[in-house]
Structure 1
Amino acid sequence: MRTYFKKEFICFLFAIAVLSSCKKIFNLPNDKDYLSSNVNYSNKIFEPIIGRTTVIGGFNGDNSTQPIKFEIVNARFGDGRPVTDLFQKKATYVWTAPYNGLEKSLAEIEAKRKLQEHPLFEVLPSGEFILWASSTNELIAPRPADSTNFPQDTRFFDLKITNTGGHTIIRDFQIRPFRERPYEPSDDFNIYSGGPAPHPKTPYNPLSRNYIRPFLNNVIGATTDIPLESNDDKKDVVVYIRPFTGGTGNSLRFKFLNKDSVEMNPALFNETVWDKIVHGFNFQKTLTYAQYDVAYPIPLVEIPTIYAPGGTRDHAEFRYSRIGFGGVRVVASFGIDFAIYRKGDWEIVFHFLKDNPKFENE
């Protein structure tokens, strides 16, 4: 049995030697990788939002041999002018260790990411494209405020795809970036002009205005004794997401205004689980606001956590209870699913416009 396998192995080595010698004697070429003529993308028009790290583009290699090299070439506007703004290099955060939402301090979070120099827009080794959060309206001019898409305002580029089997070029990708929207929901924000958004029912009335709407559950009006609502027809409560001054540079504050625009005490929302509102630290609860030190963006990574169950937005819910009719304890809640993309001091304000919530027992 051993003799048989030994003979087979010797024959195998002999065959390899013969093939190698033939290649040298007859100068046969090395085998080339395969590069399909059908490599393509599911979409060639990209419309990312400036100021957010966004991965886009679905590459189909059609079984081409890896590794494949990707290179953006011939970047130009529709009128032929060269495009250079997309490729400015700026420092941007790159994760070097996994974020999981269990970090116990800002320092622990920051230890997991580093600032690295990257072009604002580039192609990744996977063939996907990325617009980094370091992009701004000042660095990359957004699409026109009047919402037109003229060729002279559109950036085009081609993509050179190479492996040892050769190369091919996919032509005429387009990138039409929207201006920065520092937060979501952004119902109050005109995505083209950056000004206030008109009310959806009166879109051509420059005096009308849309607002961010919270969710409301069992929130009863103190005066009307009916449930408060926030929708296209009725806005008993609206939300403002806006910068404030006097924070740490990494602050997130929650405020509550009554119908007279007077700040309400957060302690009124006595069933709120404050340590699950946001992944923040150094919590402060004063008579007029609740505040955290946070790392931006919020959420930091688009994965499900106790703060962002859906992954893409933080879930901030404020709860309180009172005794209703029949002696039954009623729990009311309101809040917002939100994201903030720009570092700074931000406040989220819930404004009860027409009636205050009812806290008294029946």
Structure 2
Amino acid sequence: MLSRVADSIYWLNRYVERAENIARFIDVNLNLILDLPSGPAQQWDPIVYTTGDQELFYQRYGQATQETVIQFLAFDRDYPNSILSCLRLARENARSVREVISSEMWERVNRFYLMVKEAAQQGPHLSQLHDFFTEVKLASHLFAGVMDATMTHGEGWHFGQIGRLLERADKTARILDVKYFILLPSLQYVGTALDELQWIALLKSASAYEMYRKHSRQHRINPREVASFLILDRQFPRSIQFCLIHADRSLHQITGTPADTWRDPSERALGRLRSELDYLTIDDIMEQGLHEFLDKLQLQMNHVGDCIYETFFAIRPLQPSESPLLSQRQAQLT
């Protein structure tokens, strides 16, 4: 497969997943704000921090309010990680590989983009925002389902899976880090009803609340169990461990390298990260500090992404020793 094609399918899926996750964060916060007594900044600042682009936001918008944060994260044309920008970039990547993806995939991502574009032009009313973000999440699920059902599960499909799963793992780590490190206004709220409401919101942002309740035997939300579930659970499809396990499987399907071995830097980086999580317990994580662990984990996942780019997508000039024509010519002259 051409590196250009693999790169486009990888980012097509990564952008669609990113748009869905942003919609999750905003929608859950809209519901949470109805139950919490805190001021607007305490409710919307953390959502900006999940993006890692808080400096850009404050430079352009100043204060974090419901209106400014939703405009920035959902509809800002100049912010490359807004829902609108993500869908525009996803559509451009899909357009460039229309000969490889199925027509149903192209139709889905095109409709998805046009739906978000129309909402950005009209500026949905507050009462319509929940419906809009629900539509974004459903459109992302529909795209993933159409891709699974209509695209050959070969190299292209596996590159798409890797993009989707790495993006999902990154966003799960970010939202968990934000809750644990900066979301609570004061330590006095730890263990209170306010604290529990925010942990429930976190679980709902990952569509994990119901599965966590089935998994946990405790009546109250336990932060250690929530962290363990979202980081280490091997069966829940939005946990970090699950995402890395299946991304690693897709990577080995692409390279043909046997499982638990490596041949290139991307296999080594992803396999090493996955193996580290295999032998961790929540006690190990808490001992080193959840924020410190998640911060390091995000850096490692960024490194995995860089290795995948260098291994599969980067275009390098052909060296003379690598050219078969030059090699043949040199052989004739000697």
- Provide the TM-score with structure 1 as the length reference: 0.21
TM-score normalized by the length of structure 2: 0.22
The answer to which structure, 1 or 2, has the higher relative contact order (CA under 8 A, 6+ apart) is 2
Q: In terms of Rg, which structure is larger? A: 1
